[in-house]
Amino acid sequence: AQSVTQLDSHVSVSEGTPVLLRCNYSSSYSPSLFWYVQHPNKGLQLLLKYTSAATLVKGINGFEAEFKKSETSFHLTKPSAHMSDAAEYFCVVSDFRDDKIIFGKGTRLHILP
């Protein structure tokens, strides 16, 4: 069975400092992993995805994530936070064989001036 755990429901960082949003997963096979961002009253936007190619994935807006099989983690990072990064972030495991999508509960990122 698959599952996704986002370890922090809220993360606060100061503008210009690094961002780390943590995600752990469990899967009995090689998963496809995604990070999405949702700004208030907007639809989800795909930040980046891992589908068994390079383990370090670069996404939009300066975000990146590293797939670590040994740690079953897929943490999202950004070197320097911007005020516009304040949003809800979802880590997702997908099983394309039967269209299953497992969402994490989300992490609300707050950016302090």
Partner 1 sequence: NAGVMQNPRHLVRRRGQEARLRCSPMKGHSHVYWYRQLPEEGLKFMVYLQKENIIDESGMPKERFSAEFPKEGPSILRIQQVVRGDSAAYFCASSLSNSPLHFGNGTRLTVT
Question: Is 22 one of the binding residues for partner 1 (CB under 8 A)?
Answer: no
Spatial CA neighbour of 64 closest among 48, 85, 80, 53: 48
Q: Which stretch binds partner 1 (CB under 8 A): 13-21, 22-30, 45-53, 77-85?
A: 45-53
Among 45, 55, 80, 84, contact with partner 1 (rule: CB under 8 A): 45
State in angstroms the smallest separation of the CB of 91 from partner 1.
Answer: 12
Burial track 61-91 (b if 16+ CB lie within 10 A, e otherwise)? eebbbebeeeeebbbbebeebeeebbbbbbb
State in angstroms the smallest separation of the CB of 67 from partner 1.
Answer: 15
Q: Which is nearer to partner 1, 13 or 104 (CB)?
A: 104
